[in-house]
Structure 1
Amino acid sequence: MAHAYRTSTRVEAPADVVWQVLSDVERMPAWTGSMTSVTILGTETAIAVGSRVELTQPGLPPAVWEVDSLTEGDGFSWSSSTPGVRSGVAHRIAPVSDAACELTLAVAQSGMLAGLTNLALGSRARELVDAELADLKTEAERRALEKR
């Protein structure tokens, strides 16, 4: 059984500004409390399909995530697996005008232990997704104002 959560918000910033903030994953802890540390593993300095990224988030065990898909300027998804659970998170940017976009974050868990994991950690995971979305909106809008 899969468990999913999706949330969106309008960001008053151009999509390219949102992408600059979102795709610089190692700087996430500088603008969101939902990430304690983010480290791209290996020699890469930017994420790409196949990149492995170690994430530490408050209240959750550290995990290594692998970038499954990435479309420059539009978003990316990554996934992490532990015995019995596969988690995936998608980050999507959809322009609504030259100066604004719709930002969507979606998380899904599947596997034999997904239900139990959702009971134990689901509300905390949703809180972190909501915080990341709100903080990303704030940071992108701040950067857009600086560019004006």
Structure 2
Amino acid sequence: MAHAYRTSTQVEAPADVVWQVLSDVERMPTWTTSMTRVTLLGPETRMAVGSRVEIQQPGLPEATWEVDGLVEGRSFSWSSTAPGVRTGAAHQIAPVSDAACEVTLVVAQSGMLAGLTNLVQGSTARGLVDAELAGLKAESELRARDN
């Protein structure tokens, strides 16, 4: 059984500005409290399908995530596995006008231990997703005003 959490908000910034903020994953800790450290592994300097990313988040064990989907300027998804549970996260940007977009973040867990993991860490994980969305909105709107 999969456990999923989805949240979205309108961001008063063009989609390309939001993408610039979101896709520079190593800078995430500068604009969200949900990430302590984000490091692209290997020779890549930009995310691509197959890129591996090491992530440290408050209250969760360090994990290595692999990018499994990317639509330049619009979305990316990545996933991480631990014994008995697979966690996937999606980041989606949908323009609503030239100056605004809808951003949706989704995290889902599946596997034999997904229910237990959700029981133990679900509240923490949902709080981190909410913090990431709030930080992304604030940073993107700030950059849009500064341009």
TM-score range, shorter chain: over 0.9
**Alignment partner of 1:78 is 2:78:** yes
Partner of 2:28: 28
Give the residue type in structure 1 aligned to 2:146: E
Q: Report the AA paired with residue 142 of structure 2.
A: R
The answer to whether structure 1 residue 145 and structure 2 residue 135 are counterparts is: no
Q: Give the corresponding residue for 1:8.
A: 8
Q: Which stretches in structure 1 are left out of the alignment for 5+ residues?
A: none
Query: What corresponds to 2:51 in structure 1?
Result: 51
AA matched with 2:137: K
TM-score (norm 1): 0.99
- The letter of the residue matching 1:38 is V
Instruction: Give me the whole-angstrom Cα distance separating, in 1, the residues matched to 2:61 and 2:135.
Output: 21
- Structure 1 residues 40-97: Cα deviation after superposition (integer angstroms, max 9, x where no partner): 0001111100000000000000000000000000010000001100000000000000
- Mapping 1:90-101, distance limit 5 Å: 90-101=90-101
Tell me how far apart the structure 1 counterparts of residues 52 and 86 of structure 2 sit (CA, whole Å): 15
Q: What is the alpha-carbon root mean square deviation over aligned residues?
A: 0.3
Q: Deviations over 1:103-142 (max 9, x none)?
A: 0000000000000000000000000000000000000000
Q: Is 2:61 aligned against 1:61?
A: yes
Which sections of structure 2, spanning at least 5 residues, go unmatched?
A: none
Moved over 6 A (4+): none
TM-score (normalised: structure 2): 1.00
What is the SS of the residue equivalent to 1:117? helix
| Partner residue, 2:110 | 110
Cα separation, 2, equivalents of 1:57 and 1:48: 22
